[in-house]
Amino acid sequence: MENAPALYATAWAVLPPLIAIGLALITKEVYSSLFLGVLTGAILYAGADFDGIVNHVLKDGLIASLSDGWNVGILIFLVILGIIVALMNLSGGSKAFGGWALRKVRTRVAAEIATVLLGIIIFVDDYFNCLTVGSVMKPVTDEFRVSRAKLAYIIDATAAPVCIIAPVSSWAAAVSSFAGEGQNGIHLFIQCIPYNFYALFTLVMIFSIILMKFDYLKMAEFERNAIENGDLFTIVDDNAANADAAEEGSDKGIVLDLVFPVVVLVISCVLGMVYTGGFFSGTNFVTAFSDSDASVGLSMGALVALVIIIIYYTCRRTISFNQCMSCIPEGMKAMVSPILVLTLAWSLKAMTDSLGLADFVSGLVKGMGGAAVGVIPAALFLIACVLAFASGTSWGTFGILIPLGLAITETHPELATPIIAACMAGAVYGDHCSPISDTTIMASAGANCNHVSHVATQLPYATTVAVISAIAYVLAGFLKSPVIPLIVGVVLLIGTLFYFRSREGSYKVPESANRNNAAAN
């Protein structure tokens, strides 16, 4: 690399994200923590050159992040989602659906399971998943005193982990784009699904936690406070409180006022993505999705959906055209906090890129081989976990490790599928629980939950699954089959949960918390 800094591709490249993550968990304040991580990266890059530090923070960090076409497309998509959510709330659609769901959902377990199932159904994109599921299910989970931290975990656990095993999703398109020449990316993606242990075990984890009616470690504190004291937040978040207040909508809404916009948005986003992949120019659907530009496709689909939704509400006279227009600034304001965090997170990634974090990790990976061939999938999984957690980007981790994994498979073709799946799964772990991950940020926004609260409560759950996934990858590396690793992993996970449930400090949900208060009243 030309003009590389003296610390390029050294262990120092890991320091900026470590500082950002550490400060966020300690101070419970994400903006300054991320900025200090960005500043640390600039200092390591430019040294004692003050002008160089300022230029690297602004020009190469913040300005570059906000001028990147992909990032701008994602921001446009988020703003439009915020507007659509504001429209659904003002129309009373969310309130109507919540009332309908409360009449149908009669137990706390059913409320949580319904949230999981909705998250699985909306598999097209993790951003859309996070904001839609949160908006729809908050009234239901609030009724049963499910803490916002638990809601955020459920949303996050059915976002990236579901998208990475759904062949028709923006994630499938991203992974397929990193496949080598002459390889069918979607075919490779589908082959990896049985080996994507982290995603599969996450689904087992979330269903088990709900059905076993308990929580452990940090989540137990938040759930106890929600159930026994009625405090859904534990740590008060002004942004969340303001967002909740903005969601009080009309009493004239019907369930269709929420269902119609969601269906239109899903269809429009799928069509937008395949449009960018050439579907309407004769390319088949699977290839078009594989070749799509998710940023452009999602923003295009969301824009078309917004126009249709405004026409629908205006024609139905649920809300007036002027009220629809008032939702535009309201929706944008609701997205200011996640957009700010995303911008700082992208800038932090730019700092780690300039310090050669990817090349540092590549050097570690290339040193593997020899007698330890069987543990290569597990090693790549752990490296992907660390890299994605530190950088906050799963797709960036795909770009770094999948090509390396493909190179390794040239000498070990029998391990091709578990190696690529391990790279994907480790990247999903980082995306699932890193405090600077865009999906983690979106899950917090979707649940109107304090971001650091979400990270602190989710991290032990995600790490439990990651440890068991690493064991499964060791087995897969030697057995070269997903069947036994899956069985052993599920047994280990269930056994681990029973162990935590028996430990002092775990919180078992009392039967009184299972009552539907709305139905009782």
Full DSSP string of 481-503: -SHHHHHHHHHHHHHHHHHHHHS
Provide the domain limits for residue 288.
69-182+237-337
Residue 7 domain flag: no
Q: What is the H or E stretch that residue 356 is in?
A: none
Comparing 313-327, 344-358, 396-410, the range with the smallest average pLDDT is: 396-410
Does 147 have pLDDT greater than 90? Answer: yes
Tokens representing 290?
């594989």
Residue 216 domain flag: no
For residue 519, what pLDDT band results from cuts at 50, 70 and 90? very low
**Predicted model pTM:** 0.75
455 or 7, which is more confident:
455
Determine what percent of the chain falls in helix, strand and coil, rounding each to the nearest 5.
80, 0, 20
Comparing 110-119, 140-149, 316-325, 353-362, the range with the smallest average pLDDT is: 353-362
For residue 429, what pLDDT band results from cuts at 50, 70 and 90? very high
133 or 70, which is more confident:
133
138 or 334, which is more confident:
138
CA-CA distances (angstroms) from residue 76 to 81, 196, 312, 415, 420?
9, 31, 22, 40, 32
Tell me what the mean pLDDT of segment 45-72 comes to. 87
pLDDT of residue 521: 36
Residue 107 domain flag: yes
Comparing 187-201, 386-400, 420-434, 460-474, the range with the smallest average pLDDT is: 386-400
Work out the percent of the chain whose per-residue pLDDT is above 70.
86
Residue 142 domain flag: yes
Residue 314 domain flag: yes
Does 258 have pLDDT greater than 50? Answer: yes
Fill in the DSSP letter of residue 508.
Answer: E
Tell me what the mean pLDDT of segment 18-45 comes to. 81
Does 101 have pLDDT greater than 60? Answer: yes
Does 224 have pLDDT greater than 60? Answer: yes
Residue 117 domain flag: yes
CB 198 within 8 A of CB 425: yes
DSSP string, 168-215: SSHHHHHHHTTSPTT--HHHHHHHHGGG-HHHHHHHHHHHHHHHHTEE
Does 238 have pLDDT greater than 80? Answer: no
Does 474 have pLDDT greater than 70? Answer: yes
pLDDT of residue 215: 96
| CA dihedral over 137, 197, 396, 272, signed as positive or negative | negative
pLDDT of residue 79: 86
- Read off the pLDDT of residues 475-510 as tens digits, 9 standing for 90 and up: 998 888 999 999 999 999 999 999 999 998 899 998
Domain tally, the chain: 1
CA-CA distances (angstroms) from residue 82 to 68, 251, 339?
21, 21, 11
Highest average pLDDT, of 182-186, 249-253, 421-425, comes from 421-425
pLDDT of residue 11: 81
DSSP string, 11-70: GGGGHHHHHHHHHHHHHS-HHHHHHHHHHHHHHHHHTT-HHHHHHHHIIIIIIHHHH-HH
Residue 150 domain flag: yes
26 or 366, which is more confident:
26
pLDDT of residue 126: 76
Residue 396 domain flag: no
